[in-house]
Amino acid sequence: MTLKPSMIYVMGNTFGSLFKISTWGESHGGGVGVVIDGCPSLLSLNEDDIQRDLDRRRPGQSKITTQRDESDTAEILSGVFEGKTLGTPIAILVRNEDAKPDAYNHLKDVYRPSHADFTYDAKYGIRNWQGGGRSSARETIGRVAAGAVARVLLSESTDIEVLAWVSQIHNIKADVRAENVNFDEIESEITRCPDRDASEEMTSAITEARKNGDSLGGIVTCLVRGAPVGLGTPVFDRIEADLAKAMLSLPASKGFDIGSGFSSVEMTGSEHNDEFKAGDSMPVTTSNHSGGVQGGITNGSEILFRVAFKPTATISTPQETVDNSNNPVTLEAKGRHDPCVLPRAVPMVEAMTLLVLADHWLRNKSARIPSK
């Protein structure tokens, strides 16, 4: 096909307005990474700041994740000098060390159920069939690396703390009070569910699903403490709208709700409204059905939302599909995959939350004319 000058091609690989990221790379190529543009200068930053979150996302970290053996070591290629950001684009590279593209030869001409194989082929006329290429969750390495930079920025400039955890896998629900949850409890369980009893049940369920050639989905809950009043911009850049876009851009995500969410339909207005009372320096709400957001703008309360993830699409159970010539095929998928994405999705949810908050925090600085 000959490309005409009038044809415009927009690629959805960039996220953010002021704190902007562009991720790149494929699952079984030479590597993956991110370019961050808009990070202020003079921020103290090194690879260790990034590695902490990448280690939480990397494969092979427990018996219930994919056994792909990757160190996911971050390399900062630009934008940092003598331990300080320059205010110029920050490029971060993670090399693929355990890529096995030949393991996917049997999928070269086959469309896997509930994957992006058919849709990528239909849209672009070509696809990388080696582990899904760009549609693989390995792409999220760039997001997590960028989110780690956003975390450093926010920790130096604000009191914002972002914590996510697994609150449900399949039909197993955790009993967790958001106000009491902490990082150490989350990270002490391989499921990243801070309810130990529920975590043990989840681990057994994931192990059984893998044994049966199947997979499970669930819910990640995210809590933001210390968000200042005023983040979010009417009307199309409401903070919950940008959070929703961020979460639903993650692989395998299928649902998002904030505050009372869908349960609000069963409440009356008098039950749902968050009444105000006088605080030390400004009004505070007596409840938080709004999830920390009113009119698309943060109100100073904790932001609380949930993200639903579907069962992993790659399973070894035989499934009926077609090849790229529309011929029927019975597929028994091979390769390494997570029987449940939830434990590794936790740092991804945190990263996308941090990116949204960092972007809106920077944008908020231009909301008013500074006083003399």
Q: Work out whether strand 84-85 and strand 31-37 pair parallel, antiparallel, or are unpaired.
A: unpaired
Rg (CA), the chain: 22
In which band, very low, low, confident or very high, does the pLDDT at 7 lie, cut at 50, 70 and 90?
low
Question: What distance in Å separates the CA atoms of residue 4 and residue 288, rounded to the nearest whole number?
Answer: 53
Residue 232 buriedness (CB in 10 A; 0-12 / 13-18 / 19+): buried
Q: Which CATH number goes with the domain that contains 71?
A: 3.60.150.10
pLDDT tens-place string over residues 225-269:
999 999 999 999 999 999 999 999 999 999 999 999 999 999 999
Q: H helices of 249-341, where?
A: 269-272
Residue 9 included in any domain: no
Residue 61 included in any domain: yes
Q: Which domain holds residue 235?
A: 14-364
Q: Which of 133-142, 224-233, 234-243, 292-301 shows the lowest per-residue confidence on average (mean pLDDT)? A: 133-142
Residue 281 included in any domain: yes
Residue 37 included in any domain: yes
In which band, very low, low, confident or very high, does the pLDDT at 8 lie, cut at 50, 70 and 90?
low
pLDDT tens-place string over residues 66-116:
777 788 999 999 999 999 999 999 999 999 887 777 778 888 899 999 999
* Residue 271 scores a pLDDT above 90: yes
Rounded to an integer, the average pLDDT of 180-187 is 96
Residue 370 included in any domain: no
Residue 246 included in any domain: yes
Provide the domain count of the chain. 1
Residue 277 included in any domain: yes
Q: Please choose, from the candidates 244, 222, 228, the residue with its C-alpha nearest in 3D space to the C-alpha of residue 356.
A: 244
pLDDT tens-place string over residues 151-176:
999 999 999 999 999 999 999 999 99
Structure tokens at 356: 């949204």
- DSSP code per residue over 82-115: TTEE-SSPEEEEEE-SS--GGGGGGGTTB--TTS
Residue 1 included in any domain: no
Instruction: Note the pTM of the prediction, 2 decimals.
Output: 0.94
Q: H helices of the chain, where?
A: 47-57, 117-124, 140-157, 183-187, 196-211, 239-248, 269-272, 342-364
Total length of the chain: 372
